[in-house]
Structure 1
Amino acid sequence: MKKLIALILPVVFATAVFAQERTQRTPEERATMQTEHMTKELSLNADQQKKVQDINLDAAKKMDALRASSKGDRDAMMTGMKQISDEKDVALKAVLDEKQYSSYSAMKQERMNKMKENRKDSKPAEKPTQN
């Protein structure tokens, strides 16, 4: 029993430490990760990759500025995020070919659906009304 506890305890502590160390990535890191993913999924050439990196970086910086300026105003933040996303889509449409943009749109829709599902699953249960 002591051996089992001695084996499990470090794993529990390591998991807790790892969970706490999750920090917000910089706009540059986020843009690079997005670009790498898009390069892999959409088979971007070198010229497209550079342009997509610039578009992703611009959008990431705008998102950070929006988060800092909205100060808890959820409606303003959601409106701003939608606008930034729309601008990014227009810029990407000019860089990607038709097939790539179609694949990008499908990936984006799939990501949105997953986020909706996660949000739906994490909502607390409604409290029963008392009459």
Structure 2
Amino acid sequence: MKNLLASVLILFATITISHAQDRGRMQQRNPEDMAKMQTERLTKELNLSQSQQDSIYKYVLATATEQRKVFQENNNDRQAAMKAMQELRQKQDLKIKSFLNEEQTKKYEEIQKQRMQQRPNRGEGRRGNN
């Protein structure tokens, strides 16, 4: 019985540590990786041209760099950091749209709307766990 309990505890600890490491890796992405991932995702979703990809990558990279800076500067003030991040995302959203044609813009807006509808559900789940 003691061996079984010890095995269960070890398994639980291993899963917990693994999850924490994965979460840490996600938070430690550098701006280049973030810009690359977002550009690749948008390319796939919107069928971007090479010129659009280049323009969006440059702008998303600059925004991701600024977001990292804001987060580091406001690490102790979560509200201020979140407000600044929201403003940066809104500016980025408008800039990305400026690189898109009419059809891509409509599709982009649909995708953003779907993401916003999903976002509150994830946030409530996190707050409930605290």
TM-score (normalised: structure 2): 0.77
Q: Which amino acid aligns with 2:67?
A: M
User: Counting helix residues as a fraction of each chain, which structure ranks higher?
Assistant: 2
Runs of 4+ off more than 6 Å: 11-14
The worse-fitting range, judged by mean Cα deviation, of 60-69 and 111-120 is: 111-120
Q: How many residues are paired up? A: 120
Give yes or no for the alignment of 1:99 onto 2:100: no
Q: After TM superposition, list the pairs within 5 Å mapping 1:1-131 onto structure 2.
A: 15-16=15-16, 18-22=18-22, 23=25, 24-124=28-128
SS of residue matched to 2:34: helix
Q: Deviations over 1:84-129 (max 9, x none)?
A: 112212211221112212211222222222221112234338xxxx
Matches of 2:86 and 2:74 in 1, distance apart?
A: 14
| 1:128 counterpart residue number | none
TM-score (normalised: structure 1): 0.76
Q: Which amino acid aligns with 2:20?
A: Q
The worse-fitting range, judged by mean Cα deviation, of 92-101 and 106-115 is: 106-115
Q: Deviations over 1:45-85 (max 9, x none)?
A: 11101111111111111110010011221232122112211
Structure 1 14/32 Cα, relative in aligned 2: closer, same or farther at 3 Å? farther
SS of residue matched to 1:21: helix
Q: Deviations over 1:15-41 (max 9, x none)?
A: 455423221211111110111000000
